[in-house]
Amino acid sequence: MSENFPEFPDLSNAPAETNANASTPDYAGFTQTPEGFRSGFVSFVGRPNTGKSTLMNALVGEKIAIMADQPETTRRPIRGVVNREDAQVIVVDTPGVHRPRTLLGQRLNEIVKDTYQDVDVIGFTVPADEKLGPGDRYILEEIRAAKPKTPIVGIVTKLDKVPKDVVGERLLEMHEYLGKDVELVPVSAKDRVQLDVLMDVLVSKLPEGPRFYPVDQVTDEGVEARIEELIREEALSGLREELPHSVAVQIDEMHPDPERPDRMMIYAVMFLERPGQKRIIEGPGGRRLSGIVHRSRKQIMELVGQNVYLDVRLKVLKNWQEDPKALGRLGF
Protein backbone atom coordinates (compact mmCIF):
# COMPACT_ATOMS: atom_id res chain seq x y z
CA MET A 1 0.00 0.00 0.00
CA SER A 2 1.00 3.61 -0.47
CA GLU A 3 3.07 5.27 2.22
CA ASN A 4 0.34 7.89 2.52
CA PHE A 5 -2.14 5.40 3.90
CA PRO A 6 -2.66 5.47 7.68
CA GLU A 7 -0.62 3.23 9.91
CA PHE A 8 -2.36 0.38 11.70
CA PRO A 9 -2.76 0.73 15.46
CA ASP A 10 -0.80 -1.68 17.64
CA LEU A 11 -3.40 -4.21 18.77
CA SER A 12 -0.90 -6.61 20.33
CA ASN A 13 -2.05 -5.76 23.87
CA ALA A 14 -5.73 -5.44 23.03
CA PRO A 15 -8.10 -7.76 24.94
CA ALA A 16 -8.98 -10.97 23.16
CA GLU A 17 -12.47 -11.28 21.75
CA THR A 18 -14.79 -13.66 23.51
CA ASN A 19 -16.84 -14.16 20.35
CA ALA A 20 -14.95 -14.64 17.10
CA ASN A 21 -17.92 -13.36 15.09
CA ALA A 22 -18.41 -10.14 17.03
CA SER A 23 -16.72 -6.75 16.72
CA THR A 24 -15.77 -5.17 20.05
CA PRO A 25 -14.90 -1.51 20.59
CA ASP A 26 -11.22 -0.63 20.80
CA TYR A 27 -9.30 2.58 21.36
CA ALA A 28 -9.07 5.42 18.81
CA GLY A 29 -12.39 4.40 17.26
CA PHE A 30 -11.10 1.07 15.93
CA THR A 31 -12.81 -2.24 16.57
CA GLN A 32 -11.32 -5.68 16.57
CA THR A 33 -12.44 -7.46 13.45
CA PRO A 34 -14.35 -10.75 13.30
CA GLU A 35 -13.06 -13.84 11.56
CA GLY A 36 -13.37 -13.53 7.80
CA PHE A 37 -13.46 -9.71 7.89
CA ARG A 38 -12.44 -8.16 4.56
CA SER A 39 -10.82 -4.80 3.91
CA GLY A 40 -9.10 -3.01 1.08
CA PHE A 41 -8.99 -0.22 -1.46
CA VAL A 42 -11.27 0.06 -4.47
CA SER A 43 -10.50 2.63 -7.16
CA PHE A 44 -13.17 3.93 -9.53
CA VAL A 45 -11.48 4.56 -12.88
CA GLY A 46 -13.01 5.85 -16.09
CA ARG A 47 -13.38 8.75 -18.48
CA PRO A 48 -14.24 12.20 -17.11
CA ASN A 49 -17.87 12.75 -16.09
CA THR A 50 -18.85 9.09 -15.73
CA GLY A 51 -20.36 9.63 -12.26
CA LYS A 52 -17.44 8.38 -10.16
CA SER A 53 -17.69 11.14 -7.52
CA THR A 54 -21.47 10.86 -7.24
CA LEU A 55 -21.17 7.11 -6.80
CA MET A 56 -18.53 7.42 -4.09
CA ASN A 57 -20.61 9.95 -2.16
CA ALA A 58 -23.67 7.68 -2.37
CA LEU A 59 -21.74 4.65 -1.09
CA VAL A 60 -20.14 6.59 1.78
CA GLY A 61 -23.43 8.29 2.66
CA GLU A 62 -21.84 11.73 2.89
CA LYS A 63 -20.57 14.31 0.43
CA ILE A 64 -16.82 13.73 0.23
CA ALA A 65 -16.11 14.59 -3.42
CA ILE A 66 -17.52 17.65 -5.17
CA MET A 67 -19.76 17.18 -8.20
CA ALA A 68 -20.28 19.33 -11.27
CA ASP A 69 -21.59 18.94 -14.81
CA GLN A 70 -18.19 19.70 -16.29
CA PRO A 71 -15.69 16.90 -16.98
CA GLU A 72 -12.38 16.87 -15.11
CA THR A 73 -13.96 18.19 -11.91
CA THR A 74 -12.01 15.77 -9.70
CA ARG A 75 -8.33 16.72 -9.53
CA ARG A 76 -6.85 14.36 -6.97
CA PRO A 77 -7.57 10.95 -5.48
CA ILE A 78 -10.19 11.24 -2.75
CA ARG A 79 -10.76 8.38 -0.30
CA GLY A 80 -14.11 7.62 1.26
CA VAL A 81 -14.64 4.91 3.89
CA VAL A 82 -17.57 2.50 3.83
CA ASN A 83 -17.99 0.46 7.03
CA ARG A 84 -19.94 -2.78 7.19
CA GLU A 85 -20.10 -5.49 9.85
CA ASP A 86 -18.16 -7.82 7.58
CA ALA A 87 -15.87 -5.36 5.78
CA GLN A 88 -14.31 -1.95 5.47
CA VAL A 89 -14.09 -0.66 1.90
CA ILE A 90 -11.98 2.38 1.10
CA VAL A 91 -13.35 3.83 -2.13
CA VAL A 92 -10.83 5.92 -4.09
CA ASP A 93 -12.33 8.45 -6.49
CA THR A 94 -9.84 9.49 -9.16
CA PRO A 95 -9.65 12.18 -11.87
CA GLY A 96 -11.11 11.05 -15.18
CA VAL A 97 -8.53 9.71 -17.62
CA HIS A 98 -8.49 11.86 -20.76
CA ARG A 99 -6.34 13.10 -23.61
CA PRO A 100 -4.44 15.89 -21.85
CA ARG A 101 -4.45 19.40 -23.29
CA THR A 102 -2.26 20.94 -20.58
CA LEU A 103 0.52 20.04 -18.17
CA LEU A 104 -2.15 19.82 -15.46
CA GLY A 105 -3.99 17.23 -17.56
CA GLN A 106 -0.82 15.18 -17.93
CA ARG A 107 -0.26 15.24 -14.18
CA LEU A 108 -3.87 14.21 -13.47
CA ASN A 109 -3.46 11.17 -15.73
CA GLU A 110 -0.23 10.30 -13.92
CA ILE A 111 -2.03 10.60 -10.58
CA VAL A 112 -4.65 8.08 -11.72
CA LYS A 113 -1.98 5.59 -12.85
CA ASP A 114 -0.13 5.95 -9.55
CA THR A 115 -3.37 5.47 -7.63
CA TYR A 116 -4.49 2.21 -9.17
CA GLN A 117 -1.05 0.71 -8.58
CA ASP A 118 -1.97 0.50 -4.87
CA VAL A 119 -5.55 -0.77 -4.88
CA ASP A 120 -7.09 -4.22 -4.44
CA VAL A 121 -10.03 -3.87 -6.85
CA ILE A 122 -10.69 -1.56 -9.81
CA GLY A 123 -14.20 -0.38 -10.62
CA PHE A 124 -14.22 0.40 -14.35
CA THR A 125 -17.01 2.96 -14.76
CA VAL A 126 -18.99 3.89 -17.87
CA PRO A 127 -22.20 5.96 -18.03
CA ALA A 128 -25.36 4.29 -19.31
CA ASP A 129 -26.14 7.29 -21.53
CA GLU A 130 -22.92 7.13 -23.60
CA LYS A 131 -21.60 4.42 -25.90
CA LEU A 132 -18.22 2.93 -25.12
CA GLY A 133 -15.43 4.18 -27.35
CA PRO A 134 -11.68 4.33 -27.94
CA GLY A 135 -11.14 6.27 -24.70
CA ASP A 136 -12.65 3.43 -22.66
CA ARG A 137 -10.54 0.85 -24.48
CA TYR A 138 -7.38 2.92 -23.86
CA ILE A 139 -8.11 3.14 -20.12
CA LEU A 140 -8.80 -0.59 -19.89
CA GLU A 141 -5.56 -1.42 -21.71
CA GLU A 142 -3.63 0.85 -19.35
CA ILE A 143 -5.19 -0.82 -16.30
CA ARG A 144 -4.49 -4.34 -17.49
CA ALA A 145 -0.92 -3.50 -18.49
CA ALA A 146 -0.18 -1.98 -15.07
CA LYS A 147 -2.24 -4.34 -12.89
CA PRO A 148 -2.87 -7.57 -14.82
CA LYS A 149 -3.88 -9.58 -11.73
CA THR A 150 -6.08 -6.96 -10.05
CA PRO A 151 -9.80 -7.86 -10.15
CA ILE A 152 -11.95 -5.55 -12.25
CA VAL A 153 -15.66 -4.91 -11.73
CA GLY A 154 -17.58 -3.26 -14.56
CA ILE A 155 -19.91 -0.52 -13.31
CA VAL A 156 -22.57 1.05 -15.53
CA THR A 157 -23.63 4.33 -13.90
CA LYS A 158 -26.54 6.75 -14.40
CA LEU A 159 -29.30 4.15 -14.87
CA ASP A 160 -31.82 6.89 -14.10
CA LYS A 161 -30.99 8.63 -17.40
CA VAL A 162 -31.88 5.90 -19.90
CA PRO A 163 -34.50 3.18 -20.56
CA LYS A 164 -33.76 -0.48 -19.81
CA ASP A 165 -33.00 -1.43 -23.41
CA VAL A 166 -30.17 1.14 -23.52
CA VAL A 167 -28.79 -0.28 -20.26
CA GLY A 168 -28.79 -3.69 -21.96
CA GLU A 169 -26.76 -2.25 -24.83
CA ARG A 170 -24.15 -0.90 -22.39
CA LEU A 171 -23.91 -4.23 -20.61
CA LEU A 172 -23.33 -6.05 -23.90
CA GLU A 173 -20.62 -3.52 -24.81
CA MET A 174 -19.02 -3.99 -21.39
CA HIS A 175 -19.00 -7.77 -21.85
CA GLU A 176 -17.22 -7.28 -25.17
CA TYR A 177 -14.64 -4.95 -23.62
CA LEU A 178 -14.06 -6.69 -20.30
CA GLY A 179 -14.80 -10.33 -21.08
CA LYS A 180 -17.66 -12.49 -19.87
CA ASP A 181 -15.84 -13.52 -16.69
CA VAL A 182 -15.89 -9.96 -15.32
CA GLU A 183 -18.87 -9.14 -13.11
CA LEU A 184 -20.99 -6.18 -14.23
CA VAL A 185 -23.21 -4.08 -11.98
CA PRO A 186 -25.54 -1.38 -13.32
CA VAL A 187 -26.29 1.30 -10.70
CA SER A 188 -27.94 4.66 -10.13
CA ALA A 189 -26.20 6.67 -7.41
CA LYS A 190 -28.89 9.34 -7.66
CA ASP A 191 -31.76 6.91 -6.99
CA ARG A 192 -29.62 4.51 -4.90
CA VAL A 193 -30.41 1.59 -7.19
CA GLN A 194 -28.25 -1.55 -6.74
CA LEU A 195 -25.70 0.12 -4.46
CA ASP A 196 -25.94 -2.80 -2.02
CA VAL A 197 -25.38 -5.23 -4.87
CA LEU A 198 -22.30 -3.31 -5.96
CA MET A 199 -20.90 -3.31 -2.42
CA ASP A 200 -21.46 -7.07 -2.08
CA VAL A 201 -19.54 -7.67 -5.31
CA LEU A 202 -16.69 -5.37 -4.32
CA VAL A 203 -16.38 -6.88 -0.84
CA SER A 204 -16.29 -10.40 -2.28
CA LYS A 205 -13.12 -9.50 -4.19
CA LEU A 206 -11.24 -7.92 -1.26
CA PRO A 207 -8.68 -9.83 0.81
CA GLU A 208 -9.23 -10.62 4.46
CA GLY A 209 -7.68 -8.02 6.74
CA PRO A 210 -8.16 -5.51 9.57
CA ARG A 211 -9.69 -2.04 9.45
CA PHE A 212 -7.58 0.73 7.97
CA TYR A 213 -9.63 3.55 9.53
CA PRO A 214 -11.70 4.04 12.71
CA VAL A 215 -15.35 3.12 12.26
CA ASP A 216 -16.52 6.72 12.64
CA GLN A 217 -14.18 8.13 9.96
CA VAL A 218 -15.61 8.68 6.46
CA THR A 219 -12.55 10.18 4.73
CA ASP A 220 -8.94 11.13 5.27
CA GLU A 221 -9.43 14.44 3.46
CA GLY A 222 -8.40 17.40 5.61
CA VAL A 223 -10.98 20.05 6.47
CA GLU A 224 -9.12 22.79 4.57
CA ALA A 225 -8.94 20.65 1.43
CA ARG A 226 -12.66 19.90 1.63
CA ILE A 227 -13.46 23.60 2.07
CA GLU A 228 -11.34 24.50 -0.97
CA GLU A 229 -13.26 21.97 -3.04
CA LEU A 230 -16.66 23.23 -1.87
CA ILE A 231 -15.76 26.76 -2.96
CA ARG A 232 -14.51 25.49 -6.32
CA GLU A 233 -17.68 23.45 -6.81
CA GLU A 234 -19.85 26.55 -6.42
CA ALA A 235 -17.57 28.52 -8.73
CA LEU A 236 -17.97 25.87 -11.44
CA SER A 237 -21.76 26.13 -11.39
CA GLY A 238 -22.95 27.54 -14.70
CA LEU A 239 -19.48 27.86 -16.26
CA ARG A 240 -18.86 26.58 -19.78
CA GLU A 241 -16.02 25.85 -22.20
CA GLU A 242 -12.48 26.21 -20.86
CA LEU A 243 -13.13 28.42 -17.84
CA PRO A 244 -13.94 25.60 -15.34
CA HIS A 245 -10.47 24.13 -15.88
CA SER A 246 -8.89 27.50 -15.09
CA VAL A 247 -10.35 27.69 -11.57
CA ALA A 248 -8.28 26.66 -8.55
CA VAL A 249 -8.87 27.48 -4.87
CA GLN A 250 -6.54 27.63 -1.87
CA ILE A 251 -7.21 28.48 1.76
CA ASP A 252 -4.96 31.40 2.66
CA GLU A 253 -5.91 31.58 6.34
CA MET A 254 -8.35 29.81 8.67
CA HIS A 255 -8.77 30.41 12.39
CA PRO A 256 -11.42 31.01 15.09
CA ASP A 257 -12.75 34.55 15.33
CA PRO A 258 -10.96 36.11 18.35
CA GLU A 259 -14.06 38.19 19.12
CA ARG A 260 -16.61 35.43 18.51
CA PRO A 261 -15.34 31.94 19.46
CA ASP A 262 -18.40 30.36 17.83
CA ARG A 263 -17.36 31.64 14.39
CA MET A 264 -14.61 30.41 12.05
CA MET A 265 -12.77 32.97 9.90
CA ILE A 266 -11.83 31.62 6.47
CA TYR A 267 -9.88 33.56 3.85
CA ALA A 268 -9.54 31.86 0.46
CA VAL A 269 -7.93 32.73 -2.86
CA MET A 270 -9.48 31.70 -6.17
CA PHE A 271 -6.87 31.52 -8.93
CA LEU A 272 -7.76 32.16 -12.56
CA GLU A 273 -5.60 32.35 -15.68
CA ARG A 274 -6.70 35.60 -17.34
CA PRO A 275 -8.24 38.96 -16.34
CA GLY A 276 -11.28 38.25 -18.51
CA GLN A 277 -12.02 35.15 -16.46
CA LYS A 278 -11.88 37.22 -13.31
CA ARG A 279 -14.60 39.49 -14.69
CA ILE A 280 -16.77 36.46 -15.52
CA ILE A 281 -16.46 35.06 -11.99
CA GLU A 282 -17.22 38.45 -10.45
CA GLY A 283 -20.29 38.99 -12.63
CA PRO A 284 -22.15 42.31 -12.99
CA GLY A 285 -21.64 44.35 -9.83
CA GLY A 286 -19.85 41.42 -8.17
CA ARG A 287 -23.15 39.53 -7.83
CA ARG A 288 -21.91 36.22 -9.18
CA LEU A 289 -18.99 36.10 -6.77
CA SER A 290 -21.32 37.04 -3.91
CA GLY A 291 -23.53 34.08 -4.83
CA ILE A 292 -20.53 31.74 -4.87
CA VAL A 293 -19.51 32.92 -1.39
CA HIS A 294 -23.07 32.64 -0.05
CA ARG A 295 -23.63 29.09 -1.32
CA SER A 296 -20.16 27.92 -0.30
CA ARG A 297 -20.58 29.34 3.18
CA LYS A 298 -23.76 27.33 3.75
CA GLN A 299 -22.02 24.06 2.84
CA ILE A 300 -18.92 24.92 4.87
CA MET A 301 -21.02 25.62 7.97
CA GLU A 302 -22.56 22.16 7.61
CA LEU A 303 -19.09 20.66 7.34
CA VAL A 304 -17.48 22.42 10.33
CA GLY A 305 -20.63 22.60 12.47
CA GLN A 306 -20.40 26.29 13.33
CA ASN A 307 -20.89 29.79 11.98
CA VAL A 308 -18.42 30.87 9.29
CA TYR A 309 -17.13 34.14 7.92
CA LEU A 310 -15.92 33.48 4.38
CA ASP A 311 -13.83 35.84 2.28
CA VAL A 312 -12.89 34.81 -1.28
CA ARG A 313 -10.34 36.91 -3.16
CA LEU A 314 -9.74 36.51 -6.90
CA LYS A 315 -6.20 36.41 -8.26
CA VAL A 316 -4.89 35.96 -11.81
CA LEU A 317 -2.08 33.38 -12.04
CA LYS A 318 -1.29 33.50 -15.74
CA ASN A 319 -1.57 30.13 -17.52
CA TRP A 320 -1.12 28.21 -14.26
CA GLN A 321 -2.19 24.92 -15.89
CA GLU A 322 1.01 24.98 -17.97
CA ASP A 323 3.39 26.41 -15.36
CA PRO A 324 5.29 23.75 -13.33
CA LYS A 325 6.01 26.18 -10.50
CA ALA A 326 2.37 27.31 -10.28
CA LEU A 327 1.18 23.68 -10.36
CA GLY A 328 3.56 22.85 -7.52
CA ARG A 329 2.26 25.82 -5.54
CA LEU A 330 -1.30 24.57 -6.04
CA GLY A 331 -0.42 21.02 -5.01
CA PHE A 332 -0.24 19.27 -8.40
% residues pLDDT > 90 (the chain): 45
| Residue 2 is labelled as binding a ligand | no
User: How many Å apart are CA 216 and CA 25, to the nearest integer?
Assistant: 12
41-94: per-residue pLDDT in tens?
998 888 878 888 889 899 999 888 766 555 556 667 788 999 999 999 998 877
pLDDT in tens, 233-268: 888 876 765 566 788 899 999 999 999 989 999 999
Strands 152-157 and 184-186: parallel
Which pLDDT value is given to residue 24? 44
Q: For residue 47, say whether it is annotated as part of any ligand binding site.
A: yes
User: 159 among the known binding-site residues?
Assistant: yes
Is 51 annotated to bind a ligand? Reply is yes
- DSSP one-letter code for 181: T
**Is the pLDDT at 320 greater than 60, yes or no?**
yes
**Is 50 annotated as contributing to ligand binding?**
yes
pTM of the entire predicted model: 0.73
Distance (Å, rounded) from C-alpha 131 to C-alpha 169?
9
Q: How close are the terminal C-alpha atoms of the chain, in Å?
A: 21
330 is in an annotated binding site: no
Concatenated DSSP letters for 219-267? Answer: B---HHHHHHHHHHHHHHTT--TTGGGG-EEEEEEEEE-SS-TTEEEEE
**What 8-state DSSP symbol labels residue 198?**
H
Is 331 labeled as ligand-binding? no
Strand partners, 156: 126, 186
188 known ligand binder: no
The answer on whether 223 is annotated among ligand-binding residues is no
Order of strands across the sheet with 121-127? 78-83, 87-93, 38-46, 121-127, 152-157, 184-186
Q: How far apart are CA 126 and CA 47, in angstroms?
A: 7
